[in-house]
Amino acid sequence: MKTLTRLIVAGGVSAMIITLMLKLFGTDVDDATRPSLLQLLKDTVRASIAIYIVLTIFGLLLRAIRYRILVKASSVGEAPSLFQFGLVTGVRNMMVDLLPARLGELIYVALLNRGYAVKASHCLSSLSIAVVFDFIALAFIIFISGLILVLTGDAKVWIWITFALVLVVVTIGVLSLTVFLPHVIHLLKRLPVRHKWFKAMISLAEQLNDSILTCRRAGVFGSVFLLSVTIRVLKYAGLFILFLAVASPAFTQLAEAPWEKVLAALVGAEISASLPIPTLMSFGTYETGGTLTLAALGFSASDSFLALLGVHVWSQSIDYGLGLICLLLFVFLVRSTQSTAMHRTEKLKIAAAMFVFLVGCFFLALQYRSHLKLGSSSAPPVGESLIEAMQPEVQSSLTSLSGKGIDGFVVWSSNRFGNHDILKMNLPSGKIEQLTTHPHTETWPRISADGRKLVFARSRETWVSQRNSVAWNVWIKDLGTGVETKITDTASYPFWVDENVIGYLKDGQSIHQYNLLTNKSEILFMPGQNNAVPLDSPLSSPDIHPLTAAVVFTTRQTALNLNTGFWGTGLWQQNHQLDGVLDGCELNWSYNGDRLYQVGHGGKQKTMFYEIDPETLQATPLLDLPGEYSHEYWPEDSNDGKYLVFGASKGDHEHDTADYEIFLWEIGQPASDATRLTFHTGNDNWPDIFVE
């Protein structure tokens, strides 16, 4: 019962440590490059994971052989089979980090003693000798690494310092087993204590000492040393491969780190995990030790922490998978059962432990929730065309377009060709062409006043959720020549202010406008500068009036003194007047700037469009589709002010993963007259329209 209580406490402490480290090391996180932990695990190179599993199994087998050699030597030939040692070793590998200071290794003693009737002294001696030789092997590997660096002319002082520290630990371990233990036994026997438990402790210590002496005389230490070195080499080789597998897709600097620095981090992580801090599976302590090592060597602390956390999750998952298999086989074959009555004091201890566990999980859940707000960690499925299946509806749409006499085109972002590209539909023919083919995600397309250029955002990685407004670069594409020109980095939500000026959200924090003639940018709005919006307030979907430079944007309602929901929209004018407009999002100017359009609450599927008077800020319901597609977003009017193009789903919300379709509506006509333009189960978003 004490073990259960400790495990629960350890789980809570681990959760709190990881939360704290994510918070501390997250202060220097570059949102433009850092993925979420889920994305990191998803992108880990699978072939490398397979190699790590093979090396782990091979290392488990060698550990079992080493333990069996030591037990046979100490017990003069009597020992369980290699298969039985394999089961015990697998469970030991699973449990070693479950308790602080590697106390989980004691499960090895319990299983051998209770399951296979090996004397406790032989179990303890084989375990103690194996631990000491693990450190001897570690010191040997560090020493050889240092020699290699010396021979290659790249000697590192820190690696010799690490060697010296490990050598101190080795010396203490060897002296403890060969010198200190006999002296401690001698001193204990001289004490005037006569309790039964005290005599039993002295007897066990004497048996342990005898067992160690028997091993020394058996002459097996040479084989144990070679096995220990091989085990260590396999372990660090596997972890190194796993580290590269985690870091390569996301952290270029870490993936290209010299091998000796990665080794130092892995050693630092292991030493930190061995400290007597009550954590579960060493989560928190392992990452902290490795991160501090890499940070001291010049690497990003935030990147290092996430990479090591990914390594730890993968390694523990594999160790626990193998360990559980071994434990199930052990229980099935040994069939040992034990029951213990639970007293009132034990119940109180468990209740207190559960409280610590739940508190830790609560804070970790809050941190996890903040990561989820970054959006989907992977691109949505490509989907399939519905044109053939919905031929009557498609034909009705084309007939409607012809009847309107509209001549122009619509652009939008769609993943139907494998990732989000910018597509163009010619009106009224309905013919679709692909404007971009870059392997990264492209979205937020906006058409210039003359219809000849397109401004859009391209992700800095293959996939970036639109909830991350930083990891993008703004580009302009000449629709005539196809030439693309990058305007700025770490910017999103681009739009045209006039034919020579574009606006965008920079670093998720400020609204800029950029003059294409002078190649100069200026900040028009930033939270906390000449306005009452609190510093660091998140902004999205900005727009700038072409004549007055009045800025509209979306942010938290608390920043706008609104209290009807979470997100709200604001209007900031050059006289520094700030007004909260409406709960909802995506407030933008009409093409000629005489009105505002916004997505607000209400409607058939929780959203609808509103028209807002910029003078009075009076909101008037504008459009809510009557059909099954009635979750509307991204209203954008045409350059002649006659049409509104937008997207709508059946109720699913996520902007870049849900099945949105693109619609065209003639402003002022019945909502039922809106024309559906796209017929595809993939994601279509952020449309714009140009009319000749």
pLDDT in tens, 333-380: 875 433 344 455 555 655 565 565 556 556 555 555 555 455 676 788
Judge whether residue 544 has pLDDT over 80.
yes
Task: Identify the weakest region by mean pLDDT among 200-209, 244-253, 255-264, 525-534.
Answer: 200-209
Task: Identify the weakest region by mean pLDDT among 74-88, 124-138, 280-294, 407-421.
Answer: 280-294
pLDDT digits 0-9 by tens, 73-94 = 888 767 889 999 999 999 888 8
Region at 508 (left for phi over 0; alpha for psi -120 to 50; beta for the rest): left
Task: Identify the weakest region by mean pLDDT among 319-323, 434-438, 453-457.
Answer: 319-323
Give this prediction's pTM: 0.57
Residue 276 DSSP symbol: S
Task: Identify the weakest region by mean pLDDT among 308-317, 360-369, 515-524.
Answer: 360-369
Q: What is the mean pLDDT of the chain?
A: 84
Instruction: Name all domains of the chain by residue range, CATH numbers in brackets.
Output: 2-27+46-334 (no CATH), 395-691 (2.120.10.30)
Residue percentage of the chain with pLDDT more than 90: 45
pLDDT confidence of 436, banded at 50, 70, 90? Answer: very high
- Neighbouring CB atoms inside 10 A of 297's CB total 18
Judge whether residue 101 has pLDDT over 80.
no
500 versus 42: the higher-pLDDT residue is 500
* Cα 2 from Cα 353, distance rounded (Å): 10
Nearest C-alpha neighbor of 83 from the set 56, 116, 109: 116
Question: According to the model, what pLDDT value does residue 21 have?
Answer: 46
pLDDT confidence of 53, banded at 50, 70, 90? Answer: very high
pLDDT digits 0-9 by tens, 582-597 = 888 999 999 999 999 9
**Buried b vs exposed e over 169-182: b needs ≥16 C-beta within 10 Å?**
bbeebbeebeeebe
* Chain centre to alpha carbon of residue 372: 9
Judge whether residue 157 has pLDDT over 70.
yes
Residue at 340: amino acid letter: T
- Write out the DSSP string of 7-34: HHHHHHHHHHHHHHHHHHHGGG--TTTP
Judge whether residue 279 has pLDDT over 70.
no
